[in-house]
Amino acid sequence: MRSNNKQITTFFIICSLLLIGIIYAILQANLQINGIAKIKSNSWDIHFDNIQVNENSVAIGENDNSANIDPENNCKVDFEVTLSVPGDFYEFTVDVENAGTIDGMIGSLNTTLKVNNEVVSEMPNYLEYSVTYADGMEILENHKLEVGATETYRVRLEFKIDVEELPDVTTITTSLEPQYIQADTNSVARPNVFLYGTWNQIVDAYNSGNLTHLQTAMEEGLTRNVALDMNYDGTPETTAQVRIVNLSTPEECSSSDFSETACGFVIELIELNSTHRINPYTSSVRLGDGNKGGWEYSEMRAYLNSTLGYDGSFDYTNSGVFNSLPDELKRVIIPTRVVSGHGPYDSNNFVTTDKIYLFDFIELFGVSSSSCSVPLSVERQMDYFKYLGVTPSNASEIIMKISSNYYYWWTRCPYLRDYSSFLVINDRGGVEAKNTDISYRKYLAFRIAS
């Protein structure tokens, strides 16, 4: 937004002529230092652009899209809305673009509120009004808007449902003026929603297409802590770290036989400081022993998803990893179609629906393996591992290192040539087959969205 008090400080550099006289005997030289300084032409241009009205907003008189940018002042947005019954709302987004050549920052946030043309200090209790970034993060002073950058604001006015008494006809006039000024040493980048937002805000950012912060968090491998209640007593006693490993949803993800495990918004849970076996192992061919039944009938799957085992022989309905997660996170985890391989006991790959799953070979390396029966046609490499260039010969980025120690960790793929093993990633990033009754660490994945 262009400030009415906008001042751009211009610095003039005056270069002086320095004359130094040096006399030695009868010799004399006149030394000169000449300089020219030019000030490059600059422009200040922070303005509104691209209004998008939420399609579920109420109709506004004769015009369903009443929000508009003032044609004579692109730093001003006007809207007029009629909310008739509780539950009605009006919502739109508008971009704030820095098209100039000077970085800006928010100098102040000036708000004026009137009810029936009288200035009041707070919104009536039957209305809710908010202006935030599109991902729900708060707009604050000193937030920087760099040259060429765009931030998206979300404006929402709602007639609350839980009102005790319906109001008379009321005219609400709101005015919010974020004043942008030239950025100085007080400017700060606004917080990355993945690091500092709530899980609902993170999901909102993804669903609304505001992926800049999420993409940055993924490419830089940024992590945030998640509190875990592994004692299941309502008091988290440990933490794990999560990071983003996938954001894209290519066309093949819509195929009914394609694994959704690397489709959409995928989060990796890392540094879970516990070990667990895939299955008990015996010499029998019973489901859930060795690698018979694959991932679908494994004890690990029940443990991660906090469910009952295939035959009730292991019950994690009151424990398990999913039950240890915070409620806010559990609410945004969505079911995922998981394709996984088989061992020599079985002849077909398995398809399950899970909330939490282990990684598979293709999702890590981007190529298929003769040790795992899943073909490249039904799985894809996670965006993050592709960005890092992970391959079977370049696997250092998937080595599990905690403090100064290196660990083996499980994948969900049964070893195709052996009855007792699943594949693991070893402490050098290589792939080995290990008996299913050995307890190893694990990297876990889950998808989130609305």
- Write out the DSSP string of 296-315: TT-HHHHHHHT-B-TTSSSB
Q: Contact at 8 Å (CB) between 266 and 447?
A: yes
Q: Tokens representing 433?
A: 């087959």
CB neighbours (10 Å) of residue 448?
Answer: 19
Q: Is 284 exposed, middle or buried (0-12, 13-18, 19+ CB in 10 A)?
A: exposed
How remote is the C-alpha of 308 from its chain's centroid?
A: 31
Q: Check residue 76 and give its pLDDT.
A: 84
Q: Contact at 8 Å (CB) between 106 and 143?
A: yes
Percent of the chain scored above 90 by pLDDT?
63
Q: Check residue 62 and give its pLDDT.
A: 45
DSSP state of 355: S
On average, the pLDDT of the chain sits at 87
Which residue's structure tokens are 């960790």?
409
pLDDT in tens, 238-256: 999 999 999 999 999 999 9
pTM: 0.82
Q: Check residue 121 and give its pLDDT.
A: 84
Residue 20 has pLDDT above 50, yes or no: no
Q: What is the rounded distance in angstroms from the CA atom of residue 181 to the CA atom of residue 107?
A: 6
Q: Check residue 95 and give its pLDDT.
A: 93
Can you tell me the mean pLDDT for 281-295? 89
How remote is the C-alpha of 291 from its chain's centroid?
A: 35
Residue 18 has pLDDT above 70, yes or no: no
For residue 364, which of 388, 381, 340, 379 has the smallest C-alpha distance?
Answer: 381
Report how far apart, in Å, the C-alpha atoms of 199 and of each of 204, 226, 284, 333, 444 are. Answer: 9, 11, 45, 10, 18
Q: Check residue 148 and give its pLDDT.
A: 95
Q: What is the rounded distance in angstroms from the CA atom of residue 281 to the CA atom of residue 438?
A: 9
Q: Contact at 8 Å (CB) between 124 and 195?
A: no
Lowest mean pLDDT among 54-63, 343-352, 433-442: 54-63
Report how far apart, in Å, the C-alpha atoms of 244 and of each of 203, 213, 313 are. Answer: 12, 11, 34
For residue 273, which of 395, 405, 421, 423 has the smallest C-alpha distance?
Answer: 405
Exposed e or buried b per residue across 307-327, where buried means at least 16 C-beta atoms within 10 angstroms of its C-beta: bebbeeebebeeebbbbbbee
Residue 25 has pLDDT above 50, yes or no: no
DSSP state of 361: H
Q: Contact at 8 Å (CB) between 98 and 171?
A: no
Residue 52 has pLDDT above 60, yes or no: yes
Q: CB neighbours of 346 closer than 8 A, spacing ≥ 6?
A: 292, 293, 294
Q: Is 7 exposed, middle or buried (0-12, 13-18, 19+ CB in 10 A)?
A: exposed
Q: Contact at 8 Å (CB) between 236 and 229?
A: yes
Helix (H) or strand (E) holding 152: strand 150-159
Q: Check residue 308 and give its pLDDT.
A: 94
Q: Contact at 8 Å (CB) between 445 and 267?
A: yes
Can you tell me the mean pLDDT for 25-35? 68
Q: Which residue has the higher pLDDT, 86 or 172?
A: 86
Q: Which residue has the higher pLDDT, 162 or 61?
A: 162
Q: Check residue 53 and give its pLDDT.
A: 87
